[in-house]
């Protein structure tokens, strides 16, 4: 495959790693950066291609993202982010209307990838970022189903109807899908996610880069409350990444 036009920036979970795998499979874009919220590490400093953040709420630059990035409906949103919540103007005031599934499912839909052939493969997809949860909560079932229709993934609605919540908890446990990705002291990435066991369910490999990473940027991180700050535009910092973690709290990084 030809080298991609961009590189990708991995974060610390399976949603991001799987998204990076999709980008490599579809576009040839390889991982060159690792972001652990307040630091960016780089593998090849000589590679000058711009990076796409995967499952990352970047304030500027290209990214795939599933986070709510507005406090108020008129807040600034990164025009280069591929984020359903940004596109549909979800914010703190209508937080329960948010898209609450994975970045992977957004990318899967956008790139028109065929769903895995096996039932377990489809269940793994729904287990990533606990994308199944909203279906089994009567408060969110309707909006959850609407988003799956929006993505053109009606087959997953049928699967959710014939399975139950505990089935997905079992999948998460079997493959350790909620484990984190970490950088060790020597600069190499590792994880307890059962990556070897996940191979074969999908049309592409899911694997960590083997290169050594070194620190490129370090940022400050802060949490805040929407009770005191009513708009992201009130934040007098050079924001790097920003996301609401629930209706009333947000977290962001900023450069000094």
Whole-angstrom Cα distance, residue 20 to residue 39? 18
pLDDT band at residue 93 using 50, 70 and 90 as cut-offs: very high
Rg of the Cα atoms in the chain: 18
Q: Where are the domains of the chain?
A: 7-108+179-255
Residue 202, pLDDT above cutoff 60: yes
Residue 2, pLDDT above cutoff 70: no
The residues near 115 (Cβ < 8 Å, ≥ 6 apart) are 108, 121, 122, 125, 153, 155, 156
- Tens digit of pLDDT for each residue in 207-234? 999 999 999 999 999 999 999 999 998 9
pLDDT band at residue 90 using 50, 70 and 90 as cut-offs: very high
pLDDT at 169: 98
pTM of the model: 0.96
Distances (CA, A) of 15 to 18, 66, 107, 221: 5, 10, 11, 22
- Tens digit of pLDDT for each residue in 34-72? 999 899 999 999 999 999 999 999 999 999 999 999 999
Q: Classify strands 81-82 and 51-54 as parallel, antiparallel or unpaired.
A: unpaired
Query: Percentage of the chain with pLDDT > 90?
Result: 97
Using DSSP's 3-state secondary structure scheme, residue 90 falls into coil
β strands within the chain, DSSP E: 7-10, 31-35, 39-42, 51-54, 63-64, 81-82, 181-183, 189-191, 214-218, 220-225, 238-246, 249-255
- Tens digit of pLDDT for each residue in 12-27? 999 999 999 999 999 9
Whole-angstrom Cα distance, residue 22 to residue 224? 33
Sign of CA pseudo-dihedral 137, 152, 68, 189: positive
- Tens digit of pLDDT for each residue in 65-86? 999 999 999 999 999 999 999 9
Sign of CA pseudo-dihedral 61, 66, 71, 76: positive
Residue 3, pLDDT above cutoff 80: no
**Residue 235 near residue 51 (C-beta atoms within 8 A):** no
pLDDT at 256: 85
- The HSE-up count of residue 132 (CA atoms within 13 Å, CB side) is 23
């Amino acid at each position: 495959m030809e080298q991609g036009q961009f590189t990708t920036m991995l974060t610390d979970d399976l949603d991001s790693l799987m998204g990076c795998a999709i980008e490599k499979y579809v576009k040839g874009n390889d991982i060159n950066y690792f972001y652990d919220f307040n630091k960016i590490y780089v593998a090849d400093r000589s590679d000058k291609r711009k990076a796409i953040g995967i499952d990352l709420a970047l304030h500027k630059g290209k990214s795939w993202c599933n986070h709510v990035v507005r406090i108020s409906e008129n807040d600034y949103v990164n025009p280069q982010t591929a984020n359903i919540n940004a596109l549909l103007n979800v914010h703190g005031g209508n937080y329960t209307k948010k898209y609450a599934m994975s970045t992977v499912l957004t990318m899967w839909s956008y790139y028109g990838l065929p769903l895995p052939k096996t039932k377990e493969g489809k269940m793994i997809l729904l287990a990533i970022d606990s994308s199944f949860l909203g279906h089994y909560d009567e408060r969110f079932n309707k909006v959850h189903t609407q988003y799956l229709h929006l993505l053109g993934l009606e087959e997953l609605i049928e699967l959710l109807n014939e399975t139950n919540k505990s089935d997905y908890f079992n999948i998460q446990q079997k493959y350790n899908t909620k484990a984190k990705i970490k950088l060790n002291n020597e600069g190499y990435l590792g994880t307890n996610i059962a990556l070897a066991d996940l191979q074969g369910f999908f049309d592409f490999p899911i694997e960590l880069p083997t290169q050594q990473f070194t620190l490129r940027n370090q940022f400050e991180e802060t949490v805040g409350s929407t009770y005191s700050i009513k708009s992201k535009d009130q934040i007098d910092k050079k924001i790097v990444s920003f996301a609401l973690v629930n209706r009333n709290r947000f977290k962001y990084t900023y450069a000094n």
